[in-house]
């Protein structure tokens, strides 16, 4: 098969890049392993961050992002995101996405932890991801310049290590002048996760094997409030941060509040872990009483399906792996270190999120950086005949790997457990362990019991992994 641009992954980032590239007149082939309802994008609840309120500004959004990122954000990426976020929202509206509005017609803006202003744009109450991805998928299906290869998995990049000439899938190889990875995150590598099970960091593994650099792999954000119901299929189900913006309270075993519910995620997660340890329990409680179930339909629905009664009693919660901050290292136009290869969305690592992602910046990232990557991919020159097909193929992780990643690289990391993870059969698990061992400090989402404090010498320093598995500490501008 042949395409001008091939995109791997049909979540928010992949759908958006496809539409942007097609609108620029380019033919696109979108490879999607799973149905739409299995992307993280579909599941997103809270919304998208953008400085739209009269008392808000991109500078203020940037200041909040930098503060949450704990000295590790790439400032240029933060400026791009916060400066372009309002336009990205407008573009989605032009595409027909209907966000929730106030009675006067202005967009309804929610508040989430770490934000100093109301700036979370949402849809369908807490069904933002479903509303956006459904609309974008409709547009993709209707666009003649976009062909969708559904039910196909990318199993390797068509790369000789110096350039990427397309992708190998289980339905055949595809030659393209630009290849865009939008395969989502890797938080489902951790056994306790809020993510769909396909979020196994495939993009990072494919890119690494193909010859691209990865970065920040030690940084996985743990969401403070996931349902704690061990053994139940609902264990790990996300309770959006936005409920705390509307007054939900965190309570300990004796029913007392113990932390600021609207602090950034790393802080709330650490407070919950401390309280669980002090109380010798496995969970704390989130009090949703008094909230409007219609504002958060899926939060109340999932709680009830799990046998809980959120309107009359607090629900049990504990942290779960939520967002892999690290991924395929790329510049602000999605270009990776491998010619012809781009990365967008959660599989990409621009340095935007630093050591702790500010809530609701990631959906915005898919659209802001997706537009830039689409423009760069459209301009990518044809570099002639592809190289030989590589022999390497992707092998998914086992349940044992997922358990080992949670044990070794969970919310609190012990040196010997990280060292044990270095021998895991799944390449990304090994690289997460090595990167976490290389960051000899605690910062944001990365908490090491043997180095409990941040090291100021590591401000702005990223742990990068080259294709030969060598680690390097680097500063990005
Ligand atoms: C429960 C939940 C709630 C969230 N809420 C919010 C929120 O309110 N606001 C916010 O900003 N962020 C939120 N996030 C994070 C946000 O949803 C994600 O970061 C974002 O949607 C990622 O989009 P994406 O397009 O990069 O990846 P995804 O939406 O995960 O899409 C990746 C796609 O790639 C496909 N794929 C993967 N590997 C392959 C392969 N080898 N071959 C072919 N296809 C492949 C997958 O099947 C999937 O369709 C939430 C995440 C979760 C899990």
What integer pLDDT is reported at residue 35 of this predicted model?
Answer: 78
Mind giving me the DSSP string for 230-268?
Answer: TTSTTTT-B--THHHHTT-EEE-TTS-B-S-TTS-HHHH
The stretches in the chain having pLDDT less than 70 are: 37
Instruction: Name the residue of 7, 8, 10, 11 whose CB sits within 8 Å of the most ligand 1 atoms, as the mutation to test its pocket.
Output: 11
What CATH number does domain 223-321 carry, 3.50.50.60, 3.10.520.10, 3.90.700.10, 1.20.1600.10?
A: 3.90.700.10
Buried/exposed code over 143-169 (b: 16+ C-beta within 10 A; e: otherwise): eebbbbbeebbbbbbbbbeebbbbbbb
Q: In angstroms, what is the span from residue 41 Cα to ligand 1's centroid?
A: 4
The pLDDT tens digits of the residues spanning 316-358 come to 999 999 999 999 999 999 999 999 999 999 999 999 999 999 9
The candidate with the shortest Cα–Cα distance to 262, out of 309, 313, 315, 225, is 225
Q: Whose CA is nearest to atom 4 of ligand 1?
A: 44
Q: Under a CB-based contact definition with an 8 Å cutoff, are residues 131 and 123 in contact?
A: yes
Tens-digit pLDDT profile for residues 407-458: 999 999 999 999 999 999 999 999 999 999 999 999 999 999 999 999 999 9
C-alpha to C-alpha distance for 363 and 99, rounded to whole angstroms: 14
Question: Would you list the domain boundaries of the chain?
Answer: 2-218+325-378, 223-321, 399-468
**Residue 435 contacts by C-beta under 8 Å, 6 or more apart in sequence?**
216, 217, 218, 326, 463, 465, 471
Mutating to test ligand 1, I would choose from 129, 174, 196, 361 the residue with most ligand atoms within 8 A of its C-beta, which is 129
Token pair of 456 as six digits: 């100021």
- Whole-number pLDDT of residue 328: 98
The CA–CA distances, whole Å, from 365 to 174, 262, 429, 435 equal 27, 22, 25, 24
For the domain made up of 399-468, give the CATH fold: Methane Monooxygenase Hydroxylase; Chain G, domain 1 (1.20.58)
Cα–Cα distance between 395 and 305 in angstroms, integer? Answer: 34
Backbone angles phi, psi at 23, to 5 degrees: -65, -25
Give the pLDDT score at 106: 95
Q: Which fold has domain 2-218+325-378?
A: FAD/NAD(P)-binding domain (3.50.50)
Ligand 1 site residues (CB inside 6 A) read: 8-14, 31-34, 38-41, 43-48, 128-129, 153-154, 182-185, 194-195, 198-199, 202, 238, 323, 345-347, 360-363, 366
The number of CA neighbours under 13 Å toward the Cβ of 363 is 29
Catalytic center residues: 265
For ligand 1, atom 3, name the residue with the nearest CA. 44
Residue from 162, 141, 198, 116 nearest 18 by CA: 141
Atom of ligand 1 nearest to the CA of 362: 11
Q: Cα–Cα distances in Å, from 260 out to 114, 251, 267, 360?
A: 11, 11, 9, 19
Give the SS3 label for residue 344.
coil
pTM of the model: 0.95
**Which residues 6+ apart lie within 8 Å of 155 measured at CB?**
168, 169, 170, 393, 394
pLDDT for the residue numbered 51: 98
Atom of ligand 1 nearest to the CA of 187: 53
pLDDT of residue 332: 98
Three-state SS string over 410-466 comes to: CCCECHHHHHHHCCCCCHHHHHHHHHHHHCCCCECCECECCCCCCCHHHCCEEEEEC
Give the model's pLDDT for residue 466: 98
């Amino acid at each position: 098969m042949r395409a001008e641009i091939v995109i791997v992954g049909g979540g928010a980032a992949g759908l958006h890049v496809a539409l942007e590239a097609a609108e620029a007149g380019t033919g696109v082939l979108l490879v999607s392993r799973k149905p739409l309802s299995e992307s993280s994008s579909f599941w997103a609840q809270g919304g998208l961050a953008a400085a739209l309120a009269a008392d808000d500004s991109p500078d203020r959004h940037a200041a909040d992002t930098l503060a949450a990122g704990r000295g590790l954000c790439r400032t240029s990426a933060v400026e791009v995101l916060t400066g372009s976020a309002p336009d990205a929202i407008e573009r989605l509206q032009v595409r027909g996405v209907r966000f929730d509005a106030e009675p006067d017609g202005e967009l309804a803006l929610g508040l989430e932890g770490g934000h100093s202003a109301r700036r979370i744009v949402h849809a369908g109450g807490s069904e933002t991801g479903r509303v956006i991805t459904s609309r974008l998928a409709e547009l993709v299906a209707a666009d003649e310049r976009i062909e969708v290869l559904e039910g196909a998995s990318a199993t390797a990049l068509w790369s000789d290590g110096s350039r990427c000439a397309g992708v190998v899938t289980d339905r055949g190889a595809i030659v393209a002048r630009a290849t865009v990875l939008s395969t989502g995150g890797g938080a489902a590598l951790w056994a306790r996760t809020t993510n769909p099970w396909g979020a196994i960091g495939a993009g990072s593994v494919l890119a690494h094997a193909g010859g691209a650099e990865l970065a920040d792999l030690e940084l996985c954000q743990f969401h403070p409030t996931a349902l704690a119901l061990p053994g139940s299929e609902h264990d790990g189900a996300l309770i959006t941060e936005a409920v705390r913006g509307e007054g939900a309270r965190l309570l300990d075993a004796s029913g007392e509040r113990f932390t600021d519910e609207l602090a950034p995620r790393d802080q709330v997660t650490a407070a919950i872990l401390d309280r669980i340890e002090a109380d010798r329990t496995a969970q704390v409680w989130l009090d949703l009483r008094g909230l409007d179930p219609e504002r958060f339909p899926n939060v109340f629905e999932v709680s009830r399906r799990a046998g809980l009664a959120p309107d009359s009693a607090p629900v049990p919660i504990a942290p779960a792996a939520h967002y892999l901050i690290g991924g395929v290292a790329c510049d602000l136009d999605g270009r990776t270190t491998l010619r012809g290869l781009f990365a967008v969305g959660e599989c990409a690592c621009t340095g935007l999120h630093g050591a702790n992602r500010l809530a609701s910046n990631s959906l915005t990232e898919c659209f802001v950086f997706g537009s830039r990557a689409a423009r760069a991919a459209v301009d990518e020159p044809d570099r002639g005949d592809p190289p030989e097909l590589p022999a390497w193929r992707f092998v998914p992780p086992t349940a044992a790997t997922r358990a080992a990643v949670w044990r070794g690289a969970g919310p609190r990391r012990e040196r010997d457990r990280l060292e044990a993870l270095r021998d895991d059969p799944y390449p990304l698990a090994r690289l997460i362990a090595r990167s976490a061992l290389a960051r000899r400090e605690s910062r944001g989402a990365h908490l090491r019991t043997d180095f409990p404090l941040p090291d100021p010498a590591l401000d702005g320093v990223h742990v990068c992994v080259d294709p030969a598995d060598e680690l390097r500490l680097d500063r990005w501008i």
